[in-house]
């Protein structure tokens, strides 16, 4: 992507802004993510344990964990601090909601080591269930980060835009059932090239986002969708 808008791009951008209001009514955030289980309500949950964000395996399509298969594409090496940054974004979005409890990384590591010492072949789903049971949780919110690519450039001129992808699942502790799942896979595009991003730019402003801002937008939408499905 060029670091400067050509005159053609500027003309297209002006046209895009002129019809932004019209498209915002019908587009919303279409295409950015796959939501929860349509209009199906999640059974009442009193305690939801929120695990620290995990990283996806670097094996192409993440086929080793079927509980988080709702984001396509290959995982990438994550920059230092990316998982913690997204975990903090999730914590911010659920702050003040007594149903959610954020679990610290050290607590997860301690439990994982203890569990694997007993059953080295335990599946990921089984580990999540057992951890949730030990915490006294009704369900566990598990997030896997596949991509966290920082923009190259500034707010108004980029060589490479930010790109973020993650998946979330809500797992019931009692039986391991997946109650809700959500995927987010977004590489920012200029509105002049994709008018269906009108809703996105209406919320974020006409600028190039950082990876943290792009992730924050996705996390906000994901948690709003989750809460909409909760009784």
Instruction: Identify whether the C-beta of residue 89 lies closer than 8 Å to the C-beta of residue 215.
Output: yes
Q: How far apart, in Å, are the Cα atoms of 3 and each of 9, 16, 138, 204, 213? A: 12, 19, 49, 20, 20
* Ranges assigned E (strand) in 80-162: 100-102, 139-149, 152-153, 158-160
192 CB-near residues (< 8 Å, 6+ apart): 9, 12, 13, 15, 16
Q: How far is CA 203 from CA 39, 209, 213, 214, in A?
A: 24, 12, 12, 11
- Give 3-33 pLDDT, tens digit per residue: 443 443 433 433 333 333 333 332 333 333 4
**125 domain-assigned:** yes
What DSSP line would sit under 158-216, residue for residue?
EEE--EEEEEEEEEETTT--EEEEEEEEEE---TTT-GGGHHHHHHH-SSPPPHHHHHH
Predicted confidence at residue 123, as pLDDT, reads: 85
Under a CB-based contact definition with an 8 Å cutoff, are residues 167 and 186 in contact? no
- The model's confidence at residue 114, banded by pLDDT at 50, 70 and 90, is confident
Write down the mean pLDDT value for the chain. 79
Q: Between β-strands 178-187 and 33-34, what pairing exists: parallel, antiparallel or unpaired?
A: antiparallel
pLDDT confidence of residue 231: 73
Q: Is the dihedral of CA 23, 162, 54, 68 positive or negative?
A: positive
- Mean per-residue pLDDT for 204-218? 91
Which pLDDT value is given to residue 8?
A: 38
* Structural domain contains residue 2: no
Q: Determine the 3-state secondary structure of 23 from DSSP.
A: helix
Q: Does the pLDDT of residue 57 top 70, yes or no?
A: yes
Residue 155 lies in a domain: yes
What is the model's pLDDT at position 194?
Answer: 60
Q: Dump pLDDT digits (tens) for 185-205.
A: 999 887 667 666 777 777 878
- What pTM was computed for the model? 0.77
Is 1 among the domain residues? no
In a domain, 119, yes or no: yes
The answer to whether the CB of 47 falls within 8 A of the CB of 118 is no
73-100 pLDDT tens trace: 678 899 999 999 999 999 999 999 999 9
Q: Cα 138 vs. chain centroid, distance in angstroms?
A: 22
Contacts with 206 (C-beta within 8 Å, 6 or more apart), sequence order: 17, 191
What local confidence, expressed as pLDDT, does residue 184 receive? 95
Residue span of the structural domain in which 97 resides: 7-229
Quote the number of domains for the chain: 1
Among 78-92, 144-158, 200-214, the minimum mean pLDDT is found in 200-214
The pLDDT confidence band at residue 124, using thresholds 50, 70 and 90, is confident
The answer as to whether 131 is a domain residue is: yes
């Amino acid at each position: 992507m060029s670091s400067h808008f050509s005159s053609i791009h500027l003309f297209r951008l002006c046209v895009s802004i002129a019809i932004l209001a019209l498209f915002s009514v019908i587009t919303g955030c279409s295409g950015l993510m796959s939501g929860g289980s349509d209009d199906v309500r999640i059974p009442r949950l009193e305690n939801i344990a929120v695990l620290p964000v995990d990283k996806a395996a670097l094996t192409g399509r993440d086929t080793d964990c079927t509980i988080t298969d709702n984001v396509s594409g290959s995982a990438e090496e994550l920059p230092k601090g990316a998982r913690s940054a997204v975990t903090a974004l999730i914590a911010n979005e659920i702050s003040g909601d007594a149903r959610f409890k954020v679990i610290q990384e050290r607590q997860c590591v301690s439990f994982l080591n203890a569990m694997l010492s007993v059953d080295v072949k335990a599946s990921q789903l089984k580990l999540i269930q057992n951890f949730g049971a030990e915490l006294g949780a009704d369900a566990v919110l598990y997030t896997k980060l596949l991509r966290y690519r920082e923009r190259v450039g500034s707010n108004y001129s980029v060589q490479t835009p930010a790109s973020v992808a993650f998946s979330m699942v809500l797992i019931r502790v009692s039986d391991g059932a997946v109650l809700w799942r959500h995927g987010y896979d977004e590489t920012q595009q200029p509105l002049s090239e994709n008018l269906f991003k009108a809703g996105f730019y209406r919320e974020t402003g006409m600028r190039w986002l950082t990876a943290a801002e792009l992730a924050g937008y996705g996390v906000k939408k994901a948690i709003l969708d989750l809460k909409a499905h909760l009784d």
